[in-house]
């Protein structure tokens, strides 16, 4: 089966409610898909999340300022390989998160990270 040109635009995006917390998983969606969702508020049941899984490994093609300002995450997770050839996560995205004082957990720096919820409280540990 031939691959479509921009499959990232078709990423699954979902909001997970877990023990009183809200987690937003964004796949590899880009800024255009973020914009489309923000223009359809009836599809967005919440305005804030506790945890944002940053899209596309922290690529500069996603995680727009508008997206972050809408969701106001308390914690950001970025899954990226060490010294990956794409330079993920993008310094622009890291700066955007830092400007908003959003703590970031990065697998390229921490390795495997385990995030847990207990009684509505989020904790994490490095599994290395």
Is residue 55 within 8 A of residue 11, CB to CB? The reply is: yes
Between 128 and 30, name the one with better pLDDT. Answer: 30
pLDDT in tens, 41-77: 888 888 899 999 999 888 999 999 999 999 999 999 9
* Segments making up each domain of the chain, as ranges: 7-126
Neighbours of 73 (CB within 10 A): 24
Between 80 and 69, name the one with better pLDDT. Answer: 69
Peptide bond into 99 cis (omega under 30): no
3 state SS of 56: helix
CATH number for the region 7-126 comes to 3.60.15.10
Helix (H), strand (E) at residue 87: none
How much is the pLDDT for 1?
45
């Amino acid at each position: 089966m031939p691959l479509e040109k921009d499959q990232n635009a078709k990423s699954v995006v979902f909001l997970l409610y877990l023990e009183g917390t809200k987690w937003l998983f964004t796949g590899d969606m880009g800024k255009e898909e973020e914009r489309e969702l923000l223009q359809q508020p009836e599809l967005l049941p919440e305005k804030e999340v506790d945890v944002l899984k940053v899209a596309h490994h922290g690529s500069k093609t996603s995680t727009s300022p508008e997206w972050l300002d809408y969701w106001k995450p308390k914690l950001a997770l970025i899954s990226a390989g060490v010294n990956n050839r794409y330079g993920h996560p993008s310094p622009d995205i890291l700066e955007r998160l830092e400007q908003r004082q959003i703590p970031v957990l990065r697998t390229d720096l921490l390795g495997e990270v385990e995030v847990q919820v207990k009684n509505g409280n989020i904790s994490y540990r490095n599994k290395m």
